[in-house]
A and B are shown apart, each in its own frame.
Chain A
Amino acid sequence: MSAAPVRAGDDTPLRLRVLRRLRRQPTAKGALVVLAAIVAFALVGPFLVPQNPYDLTAINVMDNRLPPGSKGMAGFTFWLGTDAQGRDLLSAILYGLRTSLFVGLAATAGALAVGVTVGLTAAQFGGRVDALLMRVVDFILGFPSILVALVLLASIGRGVDKVILAIVVVQWANYARLMRAAALVERRKEYIEAAVNQGLPTAYIMRAHLLPNSIGSVLVVATVSIAGAITLEATLSFLGVGVPVTEPSLGLLIANGFEFLLSGEYWISLFPGLALLALILSINVVGERLRRSFDSHRQ
């Protein structure tokens, strides 16, 4: 690790310093470029691709399971091949990336909001409130998240919103625990006491003083957790309880090609799989890098 020590009296704002250090790492730099490219493709991809893979009039069943590079009936080349319904896989992957990223971000944001609120409340009020909330957290964390999500989705049905809900349910407890720990440390500091002494309302102190000073480490963990949320969504979709077939994510695309994998038609599962791998890996590397920069800054 070549992170240079921060000079005393460096006036550069923290976020700029963290970004600067991030750019100094070749692996992290590469991952950041890949991640940026994936996000950009997911955003603009649907306007570039030759085919809307979910418009039934645009696909031709005659084009089914064509290997990468084949030319189809409509006259354009399927660079990554087609699936069993004759969909262009490149188009499907770009559409799938959108769904995966959206679910991952929305679920993380939701889990973060719930977890931070619960953790902050537990830290602020302590005593019974704290004990009760933290036992709920322990209870949730006691179950394997995939099991909870499966049971939940099996009972409420499929749908993008329901997958997001399921991921929020299994992930908020992590943030609650982290937030409580950070806020407990911060709450003992004297400026909080000074704020109490100013006669400021408790809710205001929590929001304006406690929250901004203790959320940093939780946010950094959240960036890594986006990858976890995306993986969980892909797993659920692969198992058939996730997103509906009309809005397939990468996980569902992988599941679609699964049955043809052993008959040599590798591309239907492989390319969505590689896209998922690149996405998760780049988020993890960037997130990990952020976490380390943040930790070394705190020391």
Chain B
Amino acid sequence: MSGTLLEVRGLRTVFHLADGAWAAVDGVDLEVARGEVLGLVGESGSGKTVTGFSIVGLVDPPGEVIAGEVRFAGEDLRRASGERLRQLRGDRIAMIFQDPLMTLNPVLTIGEQMAEAVLEHGGGDEAAALAMAAEALGRVGISSAAARLSQYPHEFSGGMRQRVAIATALLNKPDLIIADEPTTALDVTIQGQILFEMQKLARETGAALIWITHDLTVVAELADRVAVMYAGRIVEAGSVVDVLDGPRHPYTRGLLDSVPDEARRGERLPQIDGMAPRLDTRPAGCAFAPRCQRASKRCRAEDPPETVEAGRRFRCHHPLARGDAR
């Protein structure tokens, strides 16, 4: 189960605002193989969610994908017709949204909402679709799934609703799942269970998974590879072991340092000073330079090119040395 399933090259998504077009995604390259889990990590506003939406062609005005190539199983999705994209969505490509409370229609039962995707993509009759829905609910840890199908969204808790959303995404056994922080609202045990299920699913069915999150501990648990986004760009990417154990980009280092752990109990948690730059106030040169302790004059003037090295890549003029623990 190998071979690249999704390949994104030079993806640029801009938002047309009153004072011009601002790039939320600024030349992103990504690839995911079948059966692989890619963690897409970044702070709020780094462009990770917009990247996910751009891949499936769900960017609404004022946003617009203006450049790049999105190859899914050899097919260029940016050139695909709206009808073709519609066929792929919910069938071959599934997306799980951030907000668990809002993704369900309040006037339809859970069963109706889950079955409609199966029926639309040619899944036989309604009884079979409902059976599939019940099975998918079971997989995300919802008990008495069959009875639950006839209930309405308001009868479910927030965590349950998010699990329904995840189960819906799994229904048609998609090749690619893009999950946008889907476990943020769940408690740790359920989160663990769902991460385990997703990992198993990727292994068993060969589905590729892009897991968008700000939580590095989730990435460490779940992903095979990780891409760190900052200000619309991927600043560092590589295997989870390489990147999390020996980050080359100071931003990745900063993110890792701000994860609480046992060893530093009682101490003040290190944090990255300042905020991620807004869309319209990105500095010239390296976007991270204003918050970076290693930044030099060159960083403020010159955009760092991408360095490719031993299966990983990063954008930094002054990368941390390999194996540099702190």
Quick check: is A196 within 8 A (CB to CB) of the other chain? Answer: yes
Q: A196-B89, A199-B91 are in contact. Are A191 and B104 (CB under 8 A)?
A: yes
> Roughly how many angstroms separate A197 CA and B89 CA in the complex, as a whole number?
6
List the A side residues contacting B307 at CB < 8 Å: none
List the A side residues contacting B58 at CB < 8 Å: 193, 196-197
Pair A191/B105 contact, Cβ less than 8 Å: yes
Q: A193-B58, A204-B120, A208-B116 are in contact. Are A198 and B90 (CB under 8 A)?
A: yes
List the A side residues contacting B99 at CB < 8 Å: 190
> Roughly how many angstroms separate A193 CA and B97 CA in the complex, as a whole number?
9
Q: A196-B89, A197-B56, A198-B90 are in contact. Are A213 and B165 (CB under 8 A)?
A: no
List the A side residues contacting B103 at CB < 8 Å: 190-191, 193-194
List the B side residues contacting A212 at CB < 8 Å: 107-108
Quick check: is A195 within 8 A (CB to CB) of the other chain? Answer: yes
Pair A201/B120 contact, Cβ less than 8 Å: yes
Range of interface residues on B (Cβ < 8 Å): 20 to 34
Pair A194/B97 contact, Cβ less than 8 Å: yes
Quick check: is A158 within 8 A (CB to CB) of the other chain? Answer: no
Instruction: Tell me the nearest residue of chain B to A191, going by C-beta.
Output: B105
> Roughly how many angstroms separate A191 CA and B101 CA in the complex, as a whole number?
9
List the A side residues contacting B117 at CB < 8 Å: 198-200
Chain A window 183-223, contacts with chain B (Cβ cutoff 8 Å), 1 for yes, 0 for no: 00000011101111111110010001100110000000000
> Roughly how many angstroms separate A193 CA and B105 CA in the complex, as a whole number?
11
List the A side residues contacting B121 at CB < 8 Å: 199
List the A side residues contacting B104 at CB < 8 Å: 191, 194
Instruction: Tell me the nearest residue of chain A to B107, going by C-beta.
Output: A212
List the A side residues contacting B95 at CB < 8 Å: 197
Quick check: is B66 within 8 A (CB to CB) of the other chain? Answer: no
List the A side residues contacting B102 at CB < 8 Å: 189-191
A residues contacting the other copy or chain, number (CB 8 A): 17
Chain A window 266-297, contacts with chain B (Cβ cutoff 8 Å), 1 for yes, 0 for no: 00000000000000000000000000000000
Chain A, interface SS category: helix
Chain A window 41-53, contacts with chain B (Cβ cutoff 8 Å), 1 for yes, 0 for no: 0000000000000
Pair B87/A199 contact, Cβ less than 8 Å: yes
Quick check: is B106 within 8 A (CB to CB) of the other chain? Answer: yes
* Interface positions of A from 9 to 63, Cβ below 8 Å from B: none
Pair A198/B168 contact, Cβ less than 8 Å: yes
List the B side residues contacting A209 at CB < 8 Å: 105, 108
* Interface positions of B from 89 to 135, Cβ below 8 Å from A: 89-91, 94-95, 97, 99, 102-108, 116-117, 120-121
Least CB distance from A14 to B in Å reads 10
Q: A191-B102, A194-B103 are in contact. Are A199 and B97 (CB under 8 A)?
A: no
List the B side residues contacting A194 at CB < 8 Å: 97, 103-104, 165
Partner among B85, B106, B107, B116 whose Cβ is within 8 Å of the Cβ of A198: B116
> Roughly how many angstroms separate A82 CA and B127 CA in the complex, as a whole number?
64
Pair A201/B86 contact, Cβ less than 8 Å: yes
> Roughly how many angstroms separate A200 CA and B168 CA in the complex, as a whole number?
13
List the A side residues contacting B165 at CB < 8 Å: 194
List the A side residues contacting B56 at CB < 8 Å: 197
Quick check: is B88 within 8 A (CB to CB) of the other chain? Answer: yes
Q: A191-B104, A191-B105, A193-B58 are in contact. Are A200 and B116 (CB under 8 A)?
A: yes
Q: A194-B165, A198-B116, A200-B90 are in contact. Are A213 and B107 (CB under 8 A)?
A: yes
* Interface positions of B from 275 to 318, Cβ below 8 Å from A: none
Least CB distance from B195 to A in Å reads 21
Pair A198/B108 contact, Cβ less than 8 Å: no
Pair A190/B168 contact, Cβ less than 8 Å: no
Least CB distance from A18 to B in Å reads 16
> Roughly how many angstroms separate A190 CA and B56 CA in the complex, as a whole number?
16
* Interface positions of A from 143 to 197, Cβ below 8 Å from B: 189-191, 193-197
List the B side residues contacting A197 at CB < 8 Å: 56, 58, 89-90, 94-95, 97
List the B side residues contacting A208 at CB < 8 Å: 105, 108, 116
Pair B120/A213 contact, Cβ less than 8 Å: no
Instruction: Tell me the nearest residue of chain A to B60, going by C-beta.
Output: A193
Pair B105/A200 contact, Cβ less than 8 Å: no
Instruction: Tell me the nearest residue of chain B to A211, going by C-beta.
Output: B107
Partner among A189, A190, A198, A204 whose Cβ is within 8 Å of the Cβ of B89: A198
Q: A197-B56, A199-B89, A209-B105 are in contact. Are A190 and B97 (CB under 8 A)?
A: yes
* Interface positions of B from 53 to 87, Cβ below 8 Å from A: 56, 58, 85-87
User: What are 24 A-B pairs with beta-carbon distances under 8 A?
Assistant: A189-B102, A190-B97, A191-B104, A191-B105, A191-B106, A194-B103, A195-B116, A196-B58, A197-B94, A197-B95, A198-B116, A199-B87, A199-B88, A199-B90, A199-B117, A199-B120, A200-B120, A201-B86, A204-B116, A204-B120, A208-B105, A208-B108, A208-B116, A209-B108
8 closest pairs, A vs B, by CB? A199-B90, A198-B90, A190-B102, A199-B89, A194-B103, A198-B117, A212-B107, A191-B105
B residues in contact (CB < 8 Å) with A: 56, 58, 85-91, 94-95, 97, 99, 102-108, 116-117, 120-121, 165, 168
A residues in contact (CB < 8 Å) with B: 189-191, 193-201, 204, 208-209, 212-213
14 further contact pairs, Cβ within 8 A, besides A197-B94, A199-B86, A199-B88: A190-B97, A191-B104, A196-B89, A197-B89, A197-B95, A199-B85, A199-B90, A199-B91, A199-B121, A200-B90, A200-B120, A201-B86, A204-B120, A213-B106
